[in-house]
Amino acid sequence: MNRILWIYNLIFPLALVAAAPWWLLRMATTARYREGLAERLGRIPERFLRTRDDRDVLWVHAVSVGEVMAVVRLIHALDAALPQMRVVLSTTTRTGQQIARARLGEQRVFYCPLDIAWATRAWLRALRPKLLVLVETEFWPGLMHACFRRGIPVMAINARISDRSWPRYRRLRIFWKPLLSRMRESLAQSDLDAERLRALGCRGVKTIGNLKYDLREEANARLAQLLRRLAPALRWVVAGSTLEGEEKGLIEAWKRLTETRHDLALLLAPRHLERFAAVGRMLNESGTRWRRRSELTEDAQPVSVGEVILLDTIGELAAAYSLGTVAFVGGSVARAGGHNPLEPAIYAVPAVMGPHVENFRAIVADLRAEDAILVTQSEEFEEVRVMLEKLLDDEASASALGERARRILARHAGATMRTVDAICNVLQTGTERQS
């Protein structure tokens, strides 16, 4: 184990140095690469020092928006179950950080330190956590080893290993096994994920389901109320979490959809905020009438037939799905593994996805098994358009499909409280000395 960590601790800083020119360029030109840099390097922000109290700390780490949305409800449940503890959350991405601060308050949200010794040591000294909880597969060897040395138990929740990641993990299992075998527990999303975790050396592996099934309705959020008032007679197509390459296909498909349907509006939500400007330029070049969500006020002009609303805000997509007559879930035509199809399902909104759904393999399989989602076979947006037309033109079938999706979501709910019970159990057993 020590030899493997020695090699990792040598290679990781060298990799950072080699990538330094690229990172420096990005930091000079893109705000999201500068934000939180001091925290990533081990500087504890003043807001943490001001709000620190005598309670023990439980540290949860989630990388980005999807994981943060999944654990926000968990953290609220932990607050109720463990009032004697302070639950804090770290994220890796800027958008994840913004969502977390909006939902939990900035006093207990921070950027996860880089996996280098001085940065992780600084945060562990400041927080002195009783438990580190890693969401999905955020396995950072330096941070984990630093916890083990201090007798801090580590567990993984909502754990999964995607089809794309599995070959790489399997090739490096000689590296991962000494580390992962020291984790206290691993709570897997599915039996396949549990099998893969065990093969990598994880102990205490249990299949308890996916936190992402435990979604809450946000139909009365401000955005939903505003757009219902501005477009009372229109049907909405909601395209959520789209990535580069998908918006162009959507805009072309939109022209076709609105040629013969004169009661539609499109809510287009790119996944990453730094792409809002580029998508705006695409809309301008297409000649499509459009507005930014940030421009919409209570006295805004009504949404017109065929208009596109570009969702250029953070944290409102969940509520936006409640408007949908149909939805397209992005990241699935682009080869990115897809985003969460349960977000429209909570409102019984029928959804279409492209062929790349690896990130939500088990969820999509459950939905497809009961004809509760439409998934294309190709990366051509023509097929997406045809499926959207099918749902728009057969409202009875579309409604039934959406209801099936909502029933599946309800049937699989409950992972949040099972995870709370498991975390409480680990804490109750104490911080046993790590071997």
CATH of residue 93 = 3.40.50.11720
Cα distance between residue 284 and residue 308, in whole Å: 11
Q: Is residue 12 part of a domain?
A: no
Same domain for 316 and 186: no
Q: Is residue 403 part of a domain?
A: yes
Which backbone phi and psi does 3 adopt, to 5 degrees? -65, -40
Same domain for 196 and 80: yes
Per-residue pLDDT of the chain (435 residues; tens, 9 = 90+): 565 666 666 666 666 556 556 555 555 556 555 678 899 999 999 888 777 788 999 999 999 888 998 899 999 999 999 999 999 999 998 889 999 999 999 999 999 999 989 999 999 999 999 999 999 988 999 999 999 999 999 999 999 998 889 999 999 998 899 999 999 999 999 999 999 999 999 989 999 999 999 988 876 689 999 999 999 999 999 999 999 999 999 999 999 999 999 999 999 999 988 899 999 999 999 999 999 999 999 999 999 999 999 999 988 998 899 999 999 999 999 999 999 999 999 999 999 999 999 989 889 999 999 999 999 999 989 999 999 999 999 999 999 999 999 999 999 999 999 999 999 999 998 644 444
Same domain for 390 and 285: yes
Same domain for 191 and 90: yes
Q: Is residue 333 part of a domain?
A: yes
Same domain for 386 and 254: yes
255: containing domain: 222-412
CB under 8 Å, gap of 24 or more: what pairs does 198-202 form?
A: 199/170, 199/173, 200/161, 200/169, 200/170, 200/173, 200/176, 201/173, 201/176, 201/177, 202/156, 202/159
**Most distant pair of Cα atoms in the chain: their distance:** 68
Same domain for 316 and 201: no
- Enter the DSSP assignment of 43: P
Same domain for 422 and 375: no
Same domain for 186 and 228: no
How many CA atoms lie within 13 Å of 3's alpha carbon, on the beta-carbon side?
2
What H or E segment, with its residue span, contains residue 91? strand 85-91
Looking at the 3D structure of the chain, how many domains does it have? 2
What H or E segment, with its residue span, contains residue 33? helix 31-34
β-strand pairing of 85-91 with 235-242: unpaired
Partners of 91 in the β-ladder: 111
Torsional sign, CA 294, 299, 301, 307: positive
Which backbone phi and psi does 192 adopt, to 5 degrees? -65, -45
Same domain for 424 and 298: no
Same domain for 420 and 344: no
The residues near 238 (Cβ < 8 Å, ≥ 6 apart) are: 266, 267, 269, 320, 321, 323, 324, 326, 327, 328, 344, 349
Same domain for 263 and 239: yes
* Nearest in space to 189 (alpha carbons), one of 154, 159, 215, 155: 159
- Check: CB of residue 188 under 8 Å from CB of residue 206: yes
Taking CA atoms, 280 is separated from 28, 95, 321, 384, in Å, by: 23, 19, 21, 22
Q: Is residue 231 part of a domain?
A: yes
pTM of the predicted structure, to 2 decimals: 0.84
